[in-house]
């Protein structure tokens, strides 16, 4: 598709401010955020609940308009949702009325591809995700971990330049979460794309990322840009090493600055999480 | 929907007679069905007795009520006469014309109004103003407004079904998870695609509910309209039987109104379940 040698998926965020609400209820979710991510990097946004990390993600996905600042992907300004910026939510955002194969193939249907071709490519991705045999199932018939794998496949089918992941494993049990993290890294080695992964779990961020951006409590600012250069491929044993724990302590120190403050409710990457806020003139 | 549903314990027959041995498991359901059937038979017998003996309770009298032993043969007489298909055909045509028009208008309008606040502000106030007026009270005006009584009756059934369908559709659209819409848009869906692929299926269970309720009100309105404005039709037949003092046929009309109403609602529920096979799964899961 792209014949130039420059890697794709360079994210550029400058002076990003985002506000929510109106009148007296108005508050600042994100304050003066600057982020540059070179194409192909795996970056985790780490921060306490409600700090605005999902908000940054929502702005990159094109679901939230910034109050100030600019967002660019490969030099192009972001002005709305686009399939080249795939978004994976925490849970329950598969279309419950579509079978697994049709969920995964949805992006190709939107591109106007014929059924045979889109199902073929959906099957490939389901194979990559270890989900062969579940094509005809409905999402409700799958476990939480399998649903998240379908979600990831559904985003990847569009060959996104950036994969935006909003605590995608946050609703899973610890065991499944670990398996999913390993699977994600495995998939990422084959489908090289920039990943921006939001989490409040320090272990998860350290295990996955090339680089961790630590955010403060609301209004969210970037307070630390941390390189994580553990060798890849990584496995679960990494989390028991000395180096890992040293970095973990460092992250805990950063996050515990905010200890004692009230816990803020989680912000959604699409703003007010109801359909009304997304309604449009027909 | 996270609340656990209370499961009723399987009915175990209380058996005071049997001392030690428990009755076999199949006896429980069988006994319940027997009780239900027995209750029905008992009611028919009480009706037979009250009507045959011309029971007069002062406040209400059974003196002119036909007994089931007369109604049964009258049903057979109507079914085997050529009048039957005329009456039934007339009623079914009216009810389905009005209902389908209401379903189409209600679902389309509901989808648009549910998705656009601007359109909601334009379309809903006049409809909200009309909503408290029962459809049946439109009958005189409808007769004046439409060139044929046929059209006026269809209009009444239309009005009857419109509001349940419209309001349930709007409700269903509002209840669609905004994250699903966002997910679809991130996957490349435009406005029409969002409407077709997300909003319509998301609202479908609620739409089915609206259609089922609308079907019920359609029948209700039709029967009333036919009694006043009709020629042919089950409602007309029932009222005609009264004026002609064929009292057994009144009950025959009532029986068929009930049967057809029940059958069309059941058919609709069945179709609705077929159209939303995923919905039952979701309820089970959460």
Task: Answer yes or no: do B187 and A281 touch at CB < 8 A.
Answer: no
Nearest CA in chain A to B173: A275
Domains contained in chain A, number: 2
Q: What confidence tens digit (pLDDT) does each residue in B96-144 have?
A: 999 999 999 999 999 999 999 999 999 999 999 999 999 999 999 999 9
Residue A173 and residue A151 share a domain: no
Which of these three, A109, A141, A158, is where a domain ends? A158
Q: What confidence tens digit (pLDDT) does each residue in B218-232 have?
A: 999 999 999 988 789
Least confident stretch, A191-195, B6-10, B84-88:
B6-10
How far apart (Å, rounded) are the C-alpha atoms in residues B119 and A205?
46
Residue A127 and residue A254 share a domain: no
Query: Phi/psi class of residue B188: alpha, beta or left (left: φ > 0; alpha: ψ in -120 to 50)?
Result: left
Q: Between these two residues, B61 and B20, which has the higher pLDDT value?
A: B61
Q: What confidence tens digit (pLDDT) does each residue in B241-256 have?
A: 999 999 999 999 999 9
Question: Taking chain B, what is the end-to-end CA distance rounded to the nearest angstrom?
Answer: 6
Asked if residue B19 has pLDDT above 70, the reply is no
How far apart (Å, rounded) are the C-alpha atoms in residues B175 and B199?
9
Gyration radius of chain B's alpha carbons: 25
Helix (H) or strand (E) holding A214: strand A211-215
Which pLDDT score, from 0 to 100, does residue B261 have? 92
List residues of chain B with CB under 8 Å from any CB of chain A.
Answer: 112, 114-119, 173-191, 193, 195, 197-198, 201-202, 204, 276-279, 281-282, 284-285
Residue A228 and residue A175 share a domain: yes
Task: Answer yes or no: do B281 and A82 touch at CB < 8 A.
Answer: no
Task: Answer yes or no: do B188 and A62 touch at CB < 8 A.
Answer: no
Residue A258 and residue A186 share a domain: yes
Which pLDDT score, from 0 to 100, does residue B229 have? 83
Interface ipTM > 0.85? yes
DSSP string, B186-220: HTT--HHHHIIIIIHHHHHHHHHHHHHHHHHHHHH
Residue A23 and residue A146 share a domain: no
Q: Considering only residues 98 to 137 of chain A, which have any Cβ-Cβ distance to chain B shorter than 8 Å?
A: 98, 106-107, 109-111
Task: Answer yes or no: do A140 and B117 touch at CB < 8 A.
Answer: no
Task: Answer yes or no: do B191 and A138 touch at CB < 8 A.
Answer: no
Instruction: Determine contact: A87 vs chain B, CB below 8 A.
Output: yes
Of A158, A269, A276, the CB nearest to B188: A158
Which of these three, A158, A182, A198, is where a domain ends? A158
Of A109, A155, A278, the CB nearest to B181: A278
Please give the mean pLDDT across all residues of chain B.
89
CATH of the domain at A33: 3.40.50.300
Residue A255 and residue A173 share a domain: yes
Asked if residue B259 has pLDDT above 90, the reply is yes
Residue A55 and residue A106 share a domain: no
CA distances from A192 to A8, A152, A186 (A): 10, 14, 10
Instruction: Determine contact: A79 vs chain B, CB below 8 A.
Output: no
Q: Considering only residues 145 to 184 of chain A, which have any Cβ-Cβ distance to chain B shorter than 8 Å?
A: 154-155, 158
How far apart (Å, rounded) are the C-alpha atoms in residues A103 and B224?
48
Say if A281 falls within a structural domain. Answer: no
| Chain B contact probe: residue of A95, A103, A118, A152 with most B CBs at under 10 A | A95
Residues in chain B: 286
| Chain B contact probe: residue of A93, A121, A152, A267 with most B CBs at under 10 A | A93
Q: Between these two residues, A256 and A38, which has the higher pLDDT value?
A: A38
Q: Is A194 helix (H, G, I), strand (E, B) or coil?
A: strand
Which residues, 6 or more positions from B228, have their beta carbon under 8 angstroms from its beta carbon? B139, B143
Q: Could you tell me the residue range of the domain that residue A224 belongs to?
A: 11-84+164-268
Residue A99 and residue A70 share a domain: no
Residue A98 and residue A77 share a domain: no
Asked if residue B8 has pLDDT above 60, the reply is no
Helix (H) or strand (E) holding A18: strand A11-20
What percent of chain B has pLDDT above 90?
84
Which residues, 6 or more positions from A4, have their beta carbon under 8 angstroms from its beta carbon? none
Say if A22 falls within a structural domain. Answer: yes
Asked if residue B20 has pLDDT above 70, the reply is no
Question: Taking chain A, what is the end-to-end CA distance rounded to the nearest angstrom?
Answer: 34
DSSP string, A71-135: EEETTEEP-S--TTEEEE-SSS-S-TTS-HHHHHTHHHHHTT--HHHHHHHHHHHHHHTT-TT-T
How far apart (Å, rounded) are the C-alpha atoms in residues B190 and A243?
47
| Chain A contact probe: residue of B186, B201, B280 with most A CBs at under 10 A | B186
């Amino acid at each position: 598709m792209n014949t130039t040698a420059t890697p794709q998926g360079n994210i550029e965020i400058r002076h990003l401010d985002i506000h929510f609400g109106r009148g007296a209820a108005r508050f600042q979710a994100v304050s003066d955020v600057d982020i540059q991510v070179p194409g192909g990097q795996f970056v985790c946004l780490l921060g306490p609940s409600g700090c605005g990390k999902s908000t940054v993600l929502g702005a990159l996905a094109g679901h939230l308009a910034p109050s100030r600042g600019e967002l660019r992907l490969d030099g192009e300004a972001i002005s709305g949702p686009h399939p080249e910026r795939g978004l994976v939510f925490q849970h329950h955002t598969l279309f419950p009325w579509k079978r697994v194969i049709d969920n995964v193939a949805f992006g190709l249907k939107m591109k106007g591809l014929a059924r045979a071709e889109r199902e073929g490519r959906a099957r490939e991705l389901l194979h990559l995700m270890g989900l062969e045999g579940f094509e005809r199932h409905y999402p409700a018939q799958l476990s939480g971990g399998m649903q998240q794998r379908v979600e990831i496949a559904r985003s990847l089918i569009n060959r996104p330049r950036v994969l935006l992941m909003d605590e995608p494993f946050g609703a899973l049990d610890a065991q499944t979460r670990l398996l999913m993290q390993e699977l994600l890294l495995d998939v990422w080695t084959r489908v090289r794309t920039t990943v921006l992964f939001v989490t409040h779990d320090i272990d998860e961020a350290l295990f996955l990322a090339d680089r961790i951006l630590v955010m403060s409590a609301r209004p969210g600012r970037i307070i630390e840009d941390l390189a994580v250069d553990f060798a890849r491929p990584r496995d679960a044993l990494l989390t028991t090493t000395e180096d890992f724990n040293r970095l973990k302590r460092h992250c805990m120190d950063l996050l515990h600055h905010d200890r004692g403050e009230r816990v803020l409710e989680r912000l959604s990457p699409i703003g007010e999480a109801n359909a009304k806020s997304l309604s449009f003139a027909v | 929907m996270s609340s656990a549903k209370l499961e009723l314990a399987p009915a175990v027959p209380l058996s005071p007679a049997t001392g030690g041995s428990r009755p076999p498991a199949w006896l429980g359901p069988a006994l319940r069905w027997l009780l239900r059937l027995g209750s029905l038979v008992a009611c028919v017998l009480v009706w037979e007795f009250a009507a045959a003996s011309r029971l007069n309770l002062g406040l209400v009298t059974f003196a002119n009520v036909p007994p089931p032993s007369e109604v049964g043969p009258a049903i057979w007489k109507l079914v085997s006469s050529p009048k039957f298909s005329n009456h039934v055909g007339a009623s079914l045509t009216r009810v389905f014309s009005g209902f389908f028009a209401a379903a189409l208008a209600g679902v389309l309008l509901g989808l648009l109004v549910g998705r656009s606040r601007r359109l909601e502000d334009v379309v809903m106030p006049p409809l909200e103003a009309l909503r408290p007026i029962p459809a049946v009270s439109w009958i005189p005006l409808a007769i004046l407004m439409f060139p044929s009584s046929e059209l006026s009756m269809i209009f009444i059934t239309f009005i009857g079904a419109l509001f349940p369908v419209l309001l349930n559709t709007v409700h269903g659209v509002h209840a669609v998870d905004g994250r699903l819409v966002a997910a679809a848009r991130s996957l490349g869906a435009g406005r029409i695609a969002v409407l077709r692929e997300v909003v319509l299926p998301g609202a479908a269970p609620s739409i089915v509910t609206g259609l089922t309720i609308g079907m019920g009100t359609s029948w209700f309105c039709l029967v009333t309209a036919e009694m006043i404005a009709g020629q042919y039709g089950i409602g007309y037949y029932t009222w005609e039987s009264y004026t002609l003092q064929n009292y057994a046929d009144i009950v025959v009309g009532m029986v068929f109104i009930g049967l057809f109403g029940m059958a069309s609602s059941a058919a609709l529920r069945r179709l609705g379940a077929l159209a939303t096979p995923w919905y039952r799964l979701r309820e089970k899961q959460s």
